[in-house]
Amino acid sequence: MKQKLLWLIFVVSTAVLGATPDAGPYPPQLKSSPQQAQAAHLAAELLTRYHYKAIPLNNALSERIFDQYLKALDPERIFFVQADIDQLSADRAKLGEAMLKEDLTVPFGIFNLFERRATERFGYARSLLKSGFDFQQNESYQYAREKEAWPKTEADMRELWRKRVKSDWLRLKLAGKDDKSIVEILDKRYDNFLKAIGRVKSADAFQTFMNAYTTAIDPHTSYMAPRAAEEFDISMRLSLVGIGAVLEDLDGYTTIRELVPGGPAGLSGQLKAGDRIVGVAQGENGAVTDVMGLRLDDTVALIRGALDTVVVLEILPAEAGPDSKHKLVTLVRKTISLEKQAAKASVHSIVDGKVTRRVGVIALPMFYEDVAARQKGARDYRSATRDVARLVGELKKEKVDAVLIDLRNNGGGSLTEAIELTGLFIDKGPVVQQRNARGEISVESDTQGGVAWDGPLGVLINRGSASASEIFAAAIQDYGRGLIIGEPSFGKGTVQAMIDLDRVAKNDKPQFGELKMTIAQFFRINGGTTQLRGVTPDILFPSAIDSETFGEASFDNALPWAQIKAANYLPAGDLKGVLPMLLTLHDSRVKKDRAFQCLQEDIAESRLQRKKGLISLNEAERRKERVAEENRLTSCETRKEPGTEFASERGTALRDDGLQPGERNLSSELAAEKAKKSSKDVLLDEAVNILGDEVEVMKTGSGLTANIQRGPVLQLE
């Protein structure tokens, strides 16, 4: 009781001290529900007993949770001041106890203070727009602040935000905006942040806190509230029941960004991109619920529903003004297939004199699987392996000479799918080894004989290729079955299981959410692991991302690399004899490839800017930098082939309009998105060329052999 009273005094005192003329109205205080407190306790019981690296919920872990919580709320240290941290630190060791006692007052108090501070900071940012800035001064803004100290005082914080707003202003000014437009854009931007803070719910606060707990144990254990768990399930089965429209929040409206071909919205002929949804009714005669100002996920929840039921949308047409007449559109909900997230195939031709080599490329965004449908015995359940097998069959009809599996930015998914996908390219055998918390090792194998493709194979990966992607790439490499091309992968070598907390608690309705818990570590069949080190490609491409900033090595509590005994497997081939020739041909080609050279320049510039972590606020200096960058890019433009774009993370000064997502005209955004998709992919093209080289080298021999042991080809339906 005394602890609660002291906490109440602290909240009241900080509210008084934090109240400034710039803050505006504070968001309402969030409180935890009994269900959230119970879910926290249940999750703690499971994690302390069954996690791969089970850690007692003691004071030491509580302190790590506290640090992770602050990092999640204020990663760049732009909201809390040191005095806040000092006062909050009194509860550093009490967060574990709070969960076990089912009393979340302390973590919710921290979140409420964060919301107050965020409201104050953006309120102050808006107040700075009244007077403008002097861009002749020589000062800079440190935008990379993860390793910086917390601002000591409110005066230090205000100085930080003054520079932040000045940087936003200067960026728009350099993009050609006048002062009046800049004030309008930034005022609206900061106001949108304030509105977003006001729409935060207790479920958001709870999920943030719970993920601070889970990530304090290991980077890949996480908690998902019921709505987040539903979204995860949708992404795995690639389908949902709805109207078939991609929606986004634009200027406070739920706006149709895209219509899914074949969906109810598109087939109705009454809706188009840019139309705004202002109301939703359930059934033809249902009352219309006003969704203006509602969070996008809340509006989506109203639009989705049971199969073959009616939903009525109140629409403000794209071309209409705010006060124009609305129209009602009645739709029947249907099952929508998310084809954009499914595997896709394309054929790339390499012309060399009179010889044309054809390489089939299969892009796989994730290892999806409709687990529920499979468990029910559905014959047509959706899975990554089934889709890839079908696409391989289509590519064989196209008479391709080689196949490239593009796993760039594929963060993983189903372990079963990783094993079965590997089975399309090897003739039976182990794929991955697992070691559980008791140290027991099991071997997961492909048990189906035959292969879907027995020709030259490549796997393209980057730093965003993780988990199931790494299992697949590692197995293909260990078997000598194909070339691994690209950047070193993420380095995630752990296995997670989804635990439905409501099922454990025997709840009739979803209340507690789900826990994704690390239960094992996986190892390659050669005995090594992808943990921390990832998969090292046979042919390396330049990388714009440092392992210290993205990947398993960037986590301070990642499991170390380890090794166990190799599994009993028979290599399917040996590419070591071919590799030196392929590397020579690759190096020779990229030295002459103007697009590849410009990409390397982009990457070097991007790394340099990230390393600096700060930017000048002097207009003359920034314009000078901009001219130098434009000259470099213009030089690349004259050297590159038509239609080539570059994938620099920093972007280009020539195209920087100073705007953030959601601030641009929808038609302009869609046009830019279309242009980006149709632009040349330099790294993919080079990976295709490498496979083309392999086809030629293996065909001509040159004293080199790949010794690929081919199994019977699977008949694909």
Q: Which residues are catalytic?
A: 467, 478, 492
**Two tokens at 128?**
């700075």
Alpha-carbon 133 to chain mean position: 36
Count of other CB atoms within 10 angstroms of residue 288: 15
Beta strands 402-406 and 457-461, pairing class: parallel
DSSP line for 523-545? E-TTS---TTT-PPPSEE---SS
Beta bridge partners of 259: 245
Note the helical H segments in 479-618.
501-505, 579-592, 594-612
CA gap 485, 503 in Å, rounded: 43
Dmax (CA) for the chain in angstroms is 86
Q: How many CA atoms lie within 13 A of 422 on its CB side?
A: 31
CA gap 441, 430 in Å, rounded: 13
Count of other CB atoms within 10 angstroms of residue 613: 14
CA 380, 383, 385, 387 torsion-angle sign: positive
CA gap 84, 89 in Å, rounded: 8
Is the separation of the CB atoms in 360 and 347 below 8 Å?
yes
Beta bridge partners of 256: 247
- Closest Cα to residue 35, out of 214, 221, 202? 202
Count of other CB atoms within 10 angstroms of residue 364: 27
CA gap 564, 386 in Å, rounded: 32
All residues at 6 or more sequence positions from 46 whose CB lies less than 8 Å from its CB, including other chains: 499, 504, 515, 517
Query: CA-based Rg of the chain, rounded to a whole angstrom?
Result: 28
CA gap 250, 256 in Å, rounded: 9
Using DSSP's 3-state secondary structure scheme, residue 36 falls into helix
CA distances from 570 to 176, 441, 458 (A): 63, 20, 19
**Two tokens at 301?**
């929840």
CA gap 390, 362 in Å, rounded: 11
CA gap 567, 526 in Å, rounded: 6
H/E element holding 402? strand 402-406
